[in-house]
Amino acid sequence: MVLPTMVTANVVPLEPEATAIDTVFEKLLSEIVSGVYPAGVRLPAERELSRQMSTSRPTLREALRRLNEWNLVEPRRGSGIVVRPYRDWSIEVIAAYMRYGKPQAMQPTLGRILIDMFAMRRAVVLEVIRLTAGRIPKGGTHGAKLAMARAWSLRDQPAYAREDFEVMRHLVEAAKFTPGLWLLNRVADIWIDAASSLRFMILAPPDYVQIHTKFFDLLERGESAAAVAHMTEYLERHDNKIVETLQLMEKP
């Protein structure tokens, strides 16, 4: 894995196909997350804010609706749109926080948040494996094997990270564990977005194929406990190497 470069608070340029709503949303998102509008502050009135953003009021309203969905703002009777406290924000904010965030004295550093992201991703993936390992039918690893091959072929490219999640998605789908499938979808989007925000690539470890081939074999033999233990050791070992480096970067 290539470690992140310095994170800046500048607004990241959006793709050419970004809509006016996307542009306004990203601008307000960056200003809230970076502290331009701190918790408890009321945003300018709709007419004034639309003028500042050089946008229409319907476009502004849709951008504010999205911010409300992420628990960044809330409408208050008699007070307008108010910025919510940091502790109320939704997990969807994390990628933007890595791009624009300026942690206050009592808040974790960006490096600490990145370390915790690894732990959160690992915990979710391992719990989903634990819940589904015994439910995968004979031959149910076929789609995952194909996804593994695609992931390995993309091992030195940004697309690897999403294809790697596709391995687990196939297994969870084979187990007919729909809540786990939807949860993985969300975790994958957040994780990949955050990694992209920090400008580092998630690369496949050298033993990727070997580890996953054994994992699939254990699942096919019905040895679910051994399969869970196998992937637990693998994820912890590789994540710990990265976390050790990040912890060194955290030291003054």
Question: Residue 68, class by beta-carbon neighbours within 10 Å (0-12 exposed, 13-18 middle, 19+ buried)?
Answer: middle
The CATH number fitting domain 20-100, selected from 1.10.760.10, 1.10.10.10, 3.90.1300.10, 3.30.465.10 = 1.10.10.10
Residue type, 56: S
**Joined tokens for residue 61:** 């309203």
Instruction: State if pTM tops 0.85.
Output: no
Per-domain residue ranges for the chain? 20-100, 110-250
Q: Output the six-digit token pair for 120.
A: 């959160």
In angstroms, the CA 194 to CA 153 distance is 23
Question: 221: burial class by Cβ within 10 Å (0-12, 13-18, 19+)?
Answer: exposed
Determine the Cα–Cα distance for residues 19 and 7; give it in Å rounded to an integer.
25
For position 3, what pLDDT does the model report?
33
- CATH 1.20.120.530 for domain 110-250, yes or no, is yes
pLDDT values of the chain reduced to their tens digit, one per residue, 252 residues: 333 333 333 444 444 446 899 999 999 999 999 999 999 999 999 999 999 999 999 999 999 999 999 999 999 988 899 999 999 999 999 888 888 988 887 888 887 888 888 889 899 999 999 999 999 999 999 999 999 999 999 988 888 888 999 999 999 999 999 999 999 998 888 888 776 665 555 778 899 999 999 999 999 999 999 999 999 999 998 888 777 776 666 565
The DSSP code for 109 is -
